[in-house]
Structure 1
Amino acid sequence: MVQQDVQLHTSQPGRAEGHTCGCAHDDADPVLDVRPIPHAIRHGAVFGAFGATPPGSSLVIVAPHDPLPLLAQLRELAPIEVGYLERGPEEWHVRITRLG
């Protein structure tokens, strides 16, 4: 069995203000870099992360190409809003916000 490290970190690209409710949780959008994940399980990894994203929250994925098929599949699961933070040519950074 081959073990690979998967990078999941938080960042706030394009956000000027932090979280201010005082509840001590992190307001940064989680970032999932799918490039090191084997292609055969890549979509499943994103579905798992998306499933843990509550309505109104976002997940940023970093992909080696424009993830249009993946976005179409996510739209079948729940209403989403998509925002491109970076559009190739080497990598795409896409913020996916779960609306419902």
Structure 2
Amino acid sequence: MHACDQPRIDAIHAFDARGVAKRFRHAAIFGALDVLVPGETMRFCNDHDPLPLLAQLQSRYGSALQVSYVQREPGAVVIDFQRTA
């Protein structure tokens, strides 16, 4: 079971990339992260490990974004992105 298919009761903002067209995906992710305030978390759900995206996020946000894997297995990847600054 994919961790994003389970109901959430906390204040983590979900972003399910599985339903976003590939050509719009990175722009949508950047837009969502840009509106987070420090302390907020976006839970990113995908069907693969987005290593190129993570490199882009590191370049764009640096230490202002904390990256934590929640689930990391074939077909089910969930990452919490927390704005720290």
Decide: shared fold, TM above 0.5.
yes
Aligned to 2:82: 97
Q: When the two structures are superposed, what TM-score results if normalisation uses the length of structure 1?
A: 0.69
CA distance in 2, matches of 1:97, 1:57: 6
Q: When the two structures are superposed, what TM-score results if normalisation uses the length of structure 2?
A: 0.79
Other structure's SS at 1:11 match? coil
Aligned partner (choices 37, 45, 66) of residue 81 of structure 1:
66
Structure 1 alignment gaps of length 5 or more: 1-9, 13-26
Greater mean deviation of Cα atoms: 71-80 or 27-36: 71-80
Give yes or no for contact 1:11–1:30 (8 Å, CA) kept in 2: no
- Render the CA deviation track for 1:25-74: whole Å, top value 9, x for unaligned: xx511011001111111011101110111112111100111112112212
What is the deviation of 1:77? 2.4
Share of identical aligned residues, percent?
Answer: 35
**Bigger Cα Rg:** 1
Count of residue correspondences: 77
- Answer 1 or 2: higher relative contact order, Cα 8 Å, separation at least 6: 2
CA distance in 2, matches of 1:59, 1:83: 11
Aligned to 2:12: 29
Higher helix residue share: 2
Aligned to 1:66: 49
Structure 2 alignment gaps of length 5 or more: 1-6
